[in-house]
Structure 1
């Protein structure tokens, strides 16, 4: 299909029917405002889109979308060959010594893919562009650590359930016996999924997407944790900052022991609770917006123990069944609910 704008001819072809809401051009469309958005009027019929449609250019590509369509996302790990390992207990793919930069890389089948030092704090480590599949126990595990950044990752557990002392974690900071404290940790842009133990009589069903011990100064943004046996995010840290986190189909989607501030937290289909506070002191958590969706009556907020914790949730967006408890427990807690934080009876 050819469209002529003055003396300039632009050749267009549709890669899918109009309902796919995607148009691909062989040359860039005229972008008068230089903002990547082109309002289609005269050429709408030729493009097969409604008159007045605003096309959005996907980056520097020749793909344009409109309506509810999203720009196609490139696989950030394309071209990586898997470095396959062993599930033998104690094995790891790489030691995260101080100052080390890890990635882009794909580790598959290791007991623990990335392991911090067991004898001294890991300082100044950067993990970027890492794909971990079929982890037998942990994806990334640090003991004591400072000034560590983990970003642009996709980490998943193997199919086999863990048993015994092999408590599985997607990303962990602080392990008993080798250091449980540290600080200034940044984790962003990624996913952790499927870390779980098998059911055993008298044994706690463990497995966290992310677990952080008694650290300070932790920042976690734009991360999804899903299908983990216990918590999506299990955080004992203080001075914690969170935003744009999604937790779905975990035992407890968000499990907080320490204190912190959050922007938007989205919780979907937890098995126990959307937000679970394990009170250990008079800690405070502030959440700017809590989005909770479920088909069960799992409590929106559950507070264990009787410490006088302070929980402030400024705004809620709830899609849960009638009768879902807003609060379970928290006899001595001070809970402040904001706009939209109400469930019909």
Structure 2
């Protein structure tokens, strides 16, 4: 029995050792290939190398070449990525990737969704739109990002519907995907927030609002102001956030009205937006918010006042000295101490 156990242990150790050796060898081989491929790719992107020279190098290790090429493309400015389209077209077999995105395992579908994003043709776009219905949210998100890379603005509304999965996807990923389109996404996003509430879910409206804010779309200001009256807290909150990001002073008064909202989360976002909007005429409203029942609202109000400079700091000092509200005095002290304005020695 002891000999059997010893033999089994020896075999297991040998298998592990051999496996590690192969992994180390593969890593060294891939690292050497990367050192050879990256300079050629850089030269091609800068117009110093011909397509044939790049393909010759990349075909030495096709699978690793795809990984390197995709990482290289993601590191480029979006407007420069089309330069790599001829390289992707030579390395990616369209039929294989379309079949994989429809029938492969999740990992393979995910890989295909990413690769197809760098092929700017109708067949790849059609496969990616179909993948927006994939059972795996991660594949849907990858397909949406690839459609964004392709600049397919006609896919924006399908993307919003496909990623309406708040329990499974972080809204930030959805918003980053939409904002990746750049200014070309604005008309479609506007049509979403301007549509009737029955046409798009609150989650879709929230994502569209946040993306418009990230894009600083000035034409979205009035539609976003209308959303400040939406019955859903999350929509009002994101509309205020977007208006703060855009920075148009016309939004100051409507946003300030939300400082009295029933939801503390909305009140907090409203006072933060007032800080971004440089709404120093709203010092009295922000001063009032220093006594809010929520610490988060009080802190946001104090930070907004501090951002106004001398006028806001003077108000914080006044409230800290004279207010009968201990919460208001406390938050003023916290923020003044944080910014080394209040001497605690």
Give me the TM-score of the superposition, normalised by structure 1.
Answer: 0.31
Give me the TM-score of the superposition, normalised by structure 2.
Answer: 0.31
> As a proportion of its length, which structure holds more strand?
1
> As a proportion of its length, which structure holds more helix?
2
